[in-house]
Amino acid sequence: MDDESYNWVSRRAHEIWQTEGCPQGKDREHWSQAVAERLELEKGIMTNPTSSIQIHKVLVVEDEPIIRYATVDALEEAGFDVLEAGNADEAFALLAGNAVDAVFTDVNMPGSTDGLGLSDRIRAISPTTRVIVTSGHVRLGRFDLASGVSFIPKPYTYEALIGMLRTPLHH
């Protein structure tokens, strides 16, 4: 299974778990259901477009201003409504007053927590928010991240990031 499929299945299994009230001991069932849905999606059987969440508002969290500005510009040019923060503390303040569909965060940042701490907190308070983390210093594999969190290494292309944001998640 490639990383894109794995990330999709991981997010979907997490969504199923939450929908069922976070039961213990059913991870294998949820994973199997998500794998089956992914296979159906790849075969074109899942055709209900109203079941996907579209990403409209994105929060970019990056402590390097030039990287943040360029990423914000690229996402706005692609049609996203974008908020920006220079660290996790600023992100928490923005999240308190704004609903976002996705958060794109660097891992290494100054402040009270890093991007991984930010992503864990977002997943806890808003499980349906898409979270994508990036880093040029560490490489995170699928088992290093919480369920429903994706990783894209730096340097990334804006096309790859936009593609991740536009890939629908099915509920």
pLDDT greater at residue 23 or residue 114:
114
Question: Are 115 and 107 a contacting pair, CB within 8 Å?
Answer: yes
DSSP character string of the chain = --HHHHHHHHHHHHHHHHHTT--TT-HHHHHHHHHHHHHHHHHT----GGGEEPP-EEEEE-SSHHHHHHHHHHHHHTT-EEEEESSHHHHHHHHHH---SEEEEESS-SSSS-HHHHHHHHHHH-TTSEEEEEESS----TTTS-TTEEEEESS--HHHHHHHHHSPEE-
Superfamily of domain 53-170: Response regulator (3.40.50.2300)
Question: Are 164 and 151 a contacting pair, CB within 8 Å?
Answer: no
Task: Select, from the ranges 22-26, 65-69, 93-97, the one with the highest average predicted confidence (pLDDT).
Answer: 65-69
Question: Are 170 and 37 a contacting pair, CB within 8 Å?
Answer: yes
Selection from 45, 42, 14, 7 nearest residue 30 by Cα: 14
pLDDT at residue 126, as a whole number:
83
User: Per-residue confidence at 82, pLDDT binned at 50, 70, 90?
Assistant: very high
3-state secondary structure 41-63: HHHCCCCCHHHEECCCEEEEECC
pLDDT at residue 18, as a whole number:
66
pLDDT at residue 146 greater than cutoff 80: no
What does the pLDDT look like over 30-72, one tens digit per residue?
Answer: 788 878 777 766 666 444 433 456 899 999 999 999 999 999 9
The stretch 81-103 carries a mean pLDDT of 95
The stretch 11-36 carries a mean pLDDT of 76
User: Per-residue confidence at 16, pLDDT binned at 50, 70, 90?
Assistant: confident
Which residues, in sequence order, are bridge partners of residue 121? Answer: none
- CA 141 vs CA 3, 9, 146, 156: distances in Å: 9, 15, 11, 16
Read off the amino acid at residue 78. Answer: A
What does the pLDDT look like over 103-138, one tens digit per residue?
Answer: 999 999 999 999 999 998 998 888 889 999 999 888
For the chain, the domains span 3-51, 53-170
